[in-house]
């Protein structure tokens, strides 16, 4: 329980960092990420929504904005006791990221994507409670691939029923 409170507090503080950066005269970038989980029988589907609330185009990792499967551990999935759930999905060793690895999101626009993570995390069989979080990396400038800003999504609790 204490770990969860610390995690939530850290995520809350991190969510204000872009606001402070903007107050210091940096570019106005504001992205809202949200996670919803759908658990039809035997499945765990992550529904991601990205909303650009800023005044300039930002770039979202294409794997999360448009793809249907993961190529690495992108979410922090934990069981009800706070223990991390192992990532068991595909791990792709790849070259350095390029601009093609990001999806542009214009000011005032929204992107939605659903990713099936049923077989990419070691969910226990039967009915179990879990929590999922996401750090929300965003590029403010596609020419500066090493300068990602994080806009964490609020962690979500869900119940899965894997057969």
Q: What is the pLDDT of residues 125-163, one digit of tens each?
A: 999 999 999 998 899 999 998 898 898 889 999 999 998
| Residue appearing with tokens 């210091």 | 24
Q: How many CB atoms lie within 10 A of CB 131?
A: 19
Which of helix, strand or coil describes residue 45? Answer: strand
Q: What is the pTM of this model?
A: 0.79
Q: pLDDT tens digits for 51-109?
A: 999 999 999 999 999 999 999 999 999 999 999 999 999 888 778 888 999 999 999 99
In this prediction, residue 2 carries a pLDDT of: 52
Check whether domain 2-154 has CATH 2.60.40.2970, yes or no: yes
What residues are paired with 132 via a beta bridge?
77, 156
Q: How many residues does the chain have?
A: 163
């Amino acid at each position: 329980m204490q770990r969860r409170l610390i995690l939530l507090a850290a995520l809350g503080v991190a969510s204000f960092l872009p606001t402070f950066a903007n107050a210091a005269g940096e570019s106005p970038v504001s992205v809202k990420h949200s996670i919803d989980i759908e658990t039809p029988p035997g499945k765990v589907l992550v529904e991601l929504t990205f909303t650009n609330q800023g005044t300039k185009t930002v770039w979202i990792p294409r794997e999360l904005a448009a793809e249907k499967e993961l190529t690495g551990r992108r979410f922090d999935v934990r069981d009800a006791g706070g223990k991390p759930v192992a990532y068991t999905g595909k791990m792709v060793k790849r070259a350095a990221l390029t601009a093609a690895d990001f999806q542009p999101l214009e000011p005032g626009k929204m992107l939605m994507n659903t990713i099936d993570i049923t077989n990419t995390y070691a969910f226990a069989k039967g009915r179990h409670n879990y929590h999922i979080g996401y750090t929300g990396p965003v590029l403010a400038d596609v020419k500066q691939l090493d300068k990602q800003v994080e806009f964490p999504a609020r962690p979500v609790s869900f119940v899965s029923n894997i057969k």
